[in-house]
Amino acid sequence: MLINADYEQKYHQVQGVELEEDEFDTYKDNTGKIQSVRRFTWRNSKGVSVQVITYGATITSIRLPDKNDTTDDIVMGFDDMKGYLNPLNPYFGATVGRVANRIGNAQINIDGEIYKVTANLGKHTLHGGKIGFDKVNWNHYVSGTKVILSYLSKDLEEGFPGDVITSVEYQLTDDNRFLVEFKSTSSKPTYVNLTNHSYFNLAGHDTGATEVYKHLISINADYTTDVDENSIPSGKLLPVSDTIFDLRIPKVLGNVINKIPNYLGYDHNFCVTKGSTQENTFVSRAYHPPSGRVMEIYSNQPGVQFYTSNHIPEDPKEFKGDQKDLQKLTGKGGAHYYKHGSFCFETQNYPDAINHKKFPPAVLYPGNKYHHTVEYRFFIKQA
């Protein structure tokens, strides 16, 4: 029997890491064309595996052993394209762009020229608009055990100026590091701010808020960006000292998450305290004592959005309204995902940076390159 070369499994192996490529699923795009979604699975000699799909350049699975050699999947996701196409999907694992986070009043100012971009959060813009980078099927290329995904965002897509070519490179190493590198170039001055939107629970993706609350969380930040009730920055930076946002010393998440005034939990940009070089800086650390799993994140970006899944539907046991109004978000293996059942560390520029002169530069000019690196380090703490 002949096998179509586009769909057969392909294997690559380099220095203790194996990469497998196959088909994840198919879906019908907005032109009616059937698209094949490719899946890439890395496995290293330490028992760690990671999966990424071409749709949304999305991380769908990260499996890690714990201190008792029990392996669990620690990121939220879905088993098929039906889940990723579900309007309730809160960007699970996706590459978010052209601009991650909020843009106030769906308007950007580039060198005095005003552009209106797509509003999809009331009058504001969130995560690139209605059809952001998370909702397209990326091209793919494999080099050894590196996977490079690419996408061309055309001029005025979602209102943003310039043809922007973006690539995301993924690689798992044999010492339990998962490396992500974003690059973009543009034909016109434009606004680019990318991130990966993985939702983590080091106890396992299906263990819920009870286990999330046991995590010790630390973030290397002396300031946060001040925001209004719609999470739109005012342009001010607020010191974290003597506040619930001081996570420079590890805090048990369950002891602090419900103390944030007027908020459902954390959904804030922390201003990373950078080192003296342009190399990756330590950003954040999550430790789940019962499993011993630890995740550290390093990046070259000035900020990180810490988000505790506040807007995922509530657990029926906690929901105070009419149960018929309760929406359910069903993930991998039939698991139900609920509010506070996971958390995100989204490395990025400060939100709405294009509209605040005191924030880090946000304009990508022709001839320059947007370059964003992030490194996830995983290890086990026995004690």
Active site residues: 197, 346
Tokens coding 49: 């595996």
Residues 6+ apart with CB under 8 A from 59: 50, 51, 52, 75, 77, 93, 170, 196, 198
The answer to the question of whether 120 is labelled as a binding residue is no
Contacts of 110-119 with C-beta under 8 Å, sequence gap 24+, read 110/161, 110/189, 110/190, 110/191, 110/354, 110/363, 111/189, 111/363, 115/159, 115/160, 115/161, 116/159, 117/158, 117/159, 117/160, 118/158, 118/159
How many Å apart are CA 170 and CA 147, to the nearest integer?
5
How many Å apart are CA 208 and CA 219, to the nearest integer?
22
The answer to the question of whether 198 is labelled as a binding residue is yes
Q: Are strands 177-186 and 164-172 parallel, antiparallel or unpaired?
A: antiparallel
The answer to the question of whether 267 is labelled as a binding residue is yes
Under a CB-based contact definition with an 8 Å cutoff, are residues 203 and 76 in contact? no
H or E element: which one contains 304? strand 303-307
The answer to the question of whether 246 is labelled as a binding residue is no
The answer to the question of whether 199 is labelled as a binding residue is yes
Q: Which of 162, 164, 158, 153 is nearest to 119 (CA)?
A: 158
Cα 6–chain centre separation: 28
* Sequence ranges of the binding site for beta-D-galactose: 101-102, 197-199, 267
* Sequence ranges of the binding site: 101-102, 197-199, 267
